[in-house]
Amino acid sequence: MIEEEFKKQTELLREVYQALRPLRKVRLEDLEKALEQSKLLFIEGLKKPAFRFRREFRGFPAGTVIGPGLLMPGFPSIPRVFVLKTGIPRYIYGPFYAEEKIEGYNVRLANVFGEIKAFTRRGYVCPFATDRWPDFLPMLPEFFEKYPRYVICCEVAGPENPFVSEWPPYIKEDVAFFVFDIFDLERQKFLAPEKKYALLREYEFRTPEISGPYSPQEIDPLKGLILRYEEEGREGVVLKPVSFKDGRVIKYVTSSSNVSDLRVAFPYIGELDASYIVHRLVRMTITRWELDQPFDENFYQALGEAFFGEMKELLDKVAQGEPVEEVFKVRLRRKESLEALMAHFRTAQVRIEIRREEWKDEYLHVEFAKIYPKATSFWAGKLQGLAQID
């Protein structure tokens, strides 16, 4: 960082430190050091100074956003169980709801210094969700007027989102915002399910499908739900105790969701850790075993197509010197949002090529490609005949 800029940010950090009491459990000089080491990063473009933690730091989860009077923790990672019968009673001791797990990306919408902003899991301001929330959560301003210290946690999902190549099969175009949690900044706690459901109904926020309550001792109905989700190509469930005193939130995904992850991962394996692939193979093995789903030719066909269905085309392209890329589409309400999105990708060091830009029905329709240099050299090196020692 340039000396000048660092000095300015350090001053702003001191300002935040003065104006955010819970931060004082850490010494200011430790935060300044974190800033210097890029563990703490300045967030551009807000009305007051704010910072995000890149990784967990002294009890602040990754993606935590801090500003004067603002402590918005990073959205927690939810533990995954592999087996329902043993996993549920291990973590949940009373009735629980099953909320559909939506394949998309997580944003936290908050009223930050007088503006409604969406933050990604890592604590970036998300230009896309910040642009589009009015289309999907029109009563959000009213909500924040009444509950200025609540945060709306939702999944942005659909075929036209800028980050994720999988989406719920019933979203046929554009995206939707699925609200699944409300966080109370004052008490630094999530709302319990039933209180949350009432508010989401009141403000007409779309939610993931909610089922239950179920009992940890009687999981056959939940198995039925998961088998239906498997059929419908839905991702899975997040299980939430009716009362947080009765256990903790856990998640579980379908076999087909694991299969479909492979389709969007294997071509880009050079960018990913190998365990991404293997974890999914392990999960589908155990799920199919527990739910008595057959290991048969239909399953093998689906798995094979997920791994290899697009590989011939990809290798043909790479052999001709083309890069590995993935094309995304989005609709935006404002041209500035596209600029902000591109700036976001630059900050995140993702290489983007815009392929199409067109105003239609008051939306800017944009098509862009993400270029994957590591995946490209992963495949290209091998196709060029380079040997490896293993």
Number of residues that bind a second copy (CB under 8 A): 53
Place of tokens 């007027």: 145
Q: Which DSSP state fits 123?
A: S
What SS3 class is residue 348?
coil
Does 212 engage in binding with a second copy (CB under 8 A)?
no
Query: Judged by CB under 8 A, which stretch of 4-12, 50-58, 115-123, 297-305 contacts a second copy?
Result: 297-305
Q: Return the H-helix or E-strand segment holding 335.
A: helix 335-347
Q: Give the whole-angstrom CA distance, residue 315 versus residue 301.
A: 21
Beta carbon nearer to a second copy, 73 or 87 = 87
Strands 236-241 and 105-112: unpaired
Query: Judged by CB under 8 A, which stretch of 112-120, 174-182, 279-287, 329-337 contacts a second copy?
Result: 279-287
Does 244 engage in binding with a second copy (CB under 8 A)?
no
Closest contact distance (angstroms) between CB of 274 and a second copy is 4
Q: Which DSSP state fits 154?
A: E
Does 6 engage in binding with a second copy (CB under 8 A)?
no
Query: Judged by CB under 8 A, which stretch of 9-17, 133-141, 229-237, 281-289 contacts a second copy?
Result: 281-289
Contacts with a second copy in 58-77 (CB under 8 A)?
A: 77
Answer yes or no: are the C-beta atoms of 66 and 58 closer than 8 Å. Answer: no
Does 217 engage in binding with a second copy (CB under 8 A)?
no
Closest contact distance (angstroms) between CB of 269 and a second copy is 6
Closest contact distance (angstroms) between CB of 65 and a second copy is 21
Does 285 engage in binding with a second copy (CB under 8 A)?
yes
Does 387 engage in binding with a second copy (CB under 8 A)?
yes
Does 170 engage in binding with a second copy (CB under 8 A)?
no
Beta carbon nearer to a second copy, 155 or 261 = 261
Residue choice 19, 26, 28, 81 for contact with a second copy (CB under 8 A): 81
Residue choice 278, 327, 343, 348 for contact with a second copy (CB under 8 A): 278
248 closest CA partner among 389, 93, 375: 93
For residue 62, count other CB atoms closer than 10 A to its CB.
18
Q: Give the whole-angstrom CA distance, residue 150 versus residue 8.
A: 30
Beta carbon nearer to a second copy, 97 or 144 = 97
Q: Where are the beta strands (DSSP E) in 113-202?
A: 115-120, 150-157, 176-184, 189-190
Closest contact distance (angstroms) between CB of 300 and a second copy is 3
Task: Please give the structure tokens belonging to residue 113.
Answer: 């210094």
What SS3 class is residue 5?
helix
Answer yes or no: are the C-beta atoms of 261 and 101 closer than 8 Å. Answer: no
Does 349 engage in binding with a second copy (CB under 8 A)?
no
Does 18 engage in binding with a second copy (CB under 8 A)?
no
Q: What is the largest CA-CA distance in the chain?
A: 64
Buried b or exposed e, range 97-133, using 16+ CB within 10 angstroms: bbbbbbbbbbbbbbbbeeebbbbbbbbbbbbbbbbbb
Q: Which residues contact 88 (CB under 8 A, 6 or more apart)?
A: 81, 96, 216, 219, 222, 239, 250
Beta carbon nearer to a second copy, 19 or 269 = 269
Does 2 engage in binding with a second copy (CB under 8 A)?
no
47 closest CA partner among 112, 122, 108, 138: 112
Does 90 engage in binding with a second copy (CB under 8 A)?
yes
Residue choice 61, 68, 89, 159 for contact with a second copy (CB under 8 A): 89
Closest contact distance (angstroms) between CB of 252 and a second copy is 10
What SS3 class is residue 180?
strand
Residue choice 6, 82, 113, 197 for contact with a second copy (CB under 8 A): 82
Residues that bind a second copy (CB under 8 A): 77-83, 85-91, 250, 266, 269, 273-275, 277-279, 281-282, 285-286, 288-289, 295, 297, 299-301, 303-305, 307-309, 311-312, 315, 379, 382-390
